[in-house]
Amino acid sequence: MRRRSFSSANTSEDEGAIDLTPMLDVVFIMLIFFIVTATFIKEAGVEVNRPEASTAQQKDNTTVLVAINADNSIWIDKRRVDVRSVRANIERLHAENPEGGVVIQSDELASVKTFTAVLDAAREVVAHEKISLATGQK
């Protein structure tokens, strides 16, 4: 059998080309790794001026973040929530990660009545030691 040979111009181009497929595979694997291992920050959906405390401590493993604005509006999971549906929303979010806790971010100007209503709703769902009030560091 006779083999055909290609012209020398074609051969020199093939020898000088770099195969990028393995490098692209590595880049995509690294991208998937960083996406899977990234820590996503939970936000309540509204900016709150938290009161300062000298005994503030960092809490990890937060499942539910509830924010109470200065005008007493309640925000959970970037949505405004009525006071009567706070318990149902906390139950839904807590069911996704039962080991996590609830952090309440209350504005300095929010009423104690609204804070107490949110705290009572959280206590009906989560153990007392897993409920925290977010404060700023003095």
Residue with the bigger pLDDT between 60 and 5: it is 60
- Using CA atoms, how far residue 46 sits from 57, 64, 79, 102, 112, in Å, is 22, 14, 9, 16, 19
CB atoms inside a 10 Å sphere around CB 7 = 7
Same domain, 67 and 127: yes
CATH code at 95?
A: 3.30.420.270
DSSP per-residue string spanning 64-109? EEEEE-TTS-EEETTEEE-GGGHHHHHHHHHHH-TT-EEEEEE-TT
Average pLDDT over residues 90-115: 89
Say if residue 107's pLDDT is above 60.
yes
Query: What's this model's pTM, rounded to 2 decimal places?
Result: 0.63
Tally of domains in the chain: 2
Asked whether 126 and 101 are in contact (CB, 8 A), the reply is yes
The answer on 62 and 31 residing in a single domain is no
pLDDT digits (tens, 9 = 90+) for 8-46: 555 556 667 788 888 899 999 999 988 887 766 566 667
Q: Is residue 118 within 8 Å of 74, Cβ to Cβ? A: yes
80 found inside a domain: yes
52-72 tens-digit pLDDT: 777 777 777 777 889 999 999
Q: Which of 46-60, 65-79, 113-127 has the lowest mean pLDDT?
A: 46-60
Per-residue pLDDT at 131: 87
pLDDT tier for residue 123 given thresholds of 50, 70 and 90: very high
Q: How confident is the model at residue 5 (pLDDT cuts 50, 70, 90)?
A: low
On whether both 72 and 132 belong to a single domain, the answer is yes
